[in-house]
Amino acid sequence: MIDLRSDAVTKPTPEMYEAMCKAPLGDDVIGEGNHPTVHKLQDMAAERMGKEAALFVPSGMMANLLAVKLFASPGDRVVCQDRAHIYQMSVLAMAGANSVALRTDKYGAIDSDELRIALQPNPHFSPAVLLCLENAANFTGGTVLTPEYVARVSSIAHEKGAAVHLDGARIFNAAIALGVDVKEFTRHADIMMFCISKGLSSPVGSLLVGSRALIEPARGLRYLHGGAMRQSGVLAACGIVSLEKMVERLRDDHVNARLIAEALAQIDGVTLDLDVVQTNMVWFDIAGTGLSGEQFVAGLEEQDVKVIQQGPTMLRITTHKDVSRQDALTVIEIIKDMLNRSHALHRRRREGSALFMG
């Protein structure tokens, strides 16, 4: 099976399994110093992101929820990208915040003038207290916001009295894509998160990262939201391997995604924008092939390939460490063959219909 549905389907590496077995364990809830492996991961994450402290949490969803709740009381306004994961997956609603989702361009960038207006104090609305950015941006195709852009909009937010949260679930993909240090993005954010369970291949978890003054109350919020993990060193040990061994290899995923994207762009009936294929995702539309999204997905599954459907005819392919270059080439040939057979079938039906009408 070649599973291209998400980079969250990655399996732990052999080194991670070994690290699980050998990890020193403690209790991550009882008190400071009781879990050496978790503390090591948190310290590594904070240093890597250029922040003071970090908190290990079960999921990216929880990390984003905690970040919003640290700044926004129920009814406060939170500004975000219209296609941001934090908005699409209802994190803002769960936090009780009033979200203002601003229209973005194809790369996921908000217009600076529109942002200023959205953050402007208004007597008819609650104050805007937080700007949320996503980088790399899932629902715009894995596109990357540049450090210059992040710096500019963060400055606008701070001028207007709002804090900045960076949903960096795939922040290392963004850094690899542009060839910059990850701190070039994170230094502009008051708080941020990143996942170790996607391209970095750990089985579970994300890190919420910021100042100690923010991370300490986040620890209490994590507990209240059911995120307390006891002997979580078996998971944190994998995260340590992720940060030490799995970051640089993300560029292989980007190369494989580009390989698939360029091949798909040459197929009749397939529509995609190569400009937005910047990391490890390929979003493409098959409306012109005559197949529905359901038919396309089912046809691939019959040949042991899994992709994810994002709309009636919109599909997403995501590459990761368990997808080799040969896997990518195999998928290209399977898709070409399936669509060629579909085109031939439609052609025969049209010819048959013409003969019948004649």
How far apart (Å, rounded) are the C-alpha atoms in residues 330 and 73? 50
Q: 12-245 is classed in which CATH architecture?
A: 3-Layer(aba) Sandwich (3.40)
State which fold the 250-357 domain adopts: Aspartate Aminotransferase, domain 1 (3.90.1150)
Residue 351: the pLDDT is 53
| Mutual angle of helices 233-245 and 36-49, in 10-degree steps | 30
Residue 355: the pLDDT is 46
Q: Which two tokens stand for residue 250?
A: 């993300």
Residue 302: the pLDDT is 96
Work out whether strand 53-57 and strand 206-210 pair parallel, antiparallel, or are unpaired: antiparallel
How far apart (Å, rounded) are the C-alpha atoms in residues 26 and 37? 8
Rounded to two decimals, the pTM is 0.93
**Residue 215, number of CB atoms within 10 A of its CB:** 22
Per-residue pLDDT of the chain (358 residues; tens, 9 = 90+): 999 999 999 999 999 999 999 999 988 887 666 799 999 999 999 999 999 999 999 999 999 999 999 999 998 999 999 999 999 987 988 888 888 999 999 999 999 999 999 999 887 778 899 999 999 999 999 999 999 999 999 999 999 999 999 999 999 999 999 999 999 999 999 999 999 999 999 999 999 999 999 999 999 999 999 998 888 999 999 999 999 999 999 999 999 999 999 999 999 999 999 999 999 999 999 999 999 999 999 999 999 999 999 999 999 999 999 999 999 999 999 999 999 887 666 665 555 554 445 5
| Mutual angle of helices 293-301 and 325-357, in 10-degree steps | 120
What are the backbone dihedrals phi and psi of residue 54, each rounded to the nearest 5 degrees, phi first?
-145, 160
Render pLDDT for 45-63 as a digit per residue (tens, 0 to 9): 999 999 999 999 999 999 9
Residue 352: the pLDDT is 56
Of the chain, the end-to-end C-alpha distance in Å amounts to 46
What sections of the chain are H helices per DSSP? 14-22, 36-49, 60-71, 85-88, 91-95, 112-119, 147-159, 171-178, 183-186, 212-224, 233-245, 250-264, 293-301, 325-357
Q: Which two tokens stand for residue 64?
A: 């984003």
CA distances to 43, 131, 165, 178, 193 from 115, in Å? 34, 9, 15, 25, 22
Same fold, 12-245 and 250-357: no
Domain ranges (residues) in the chain: 12-245, 250-357
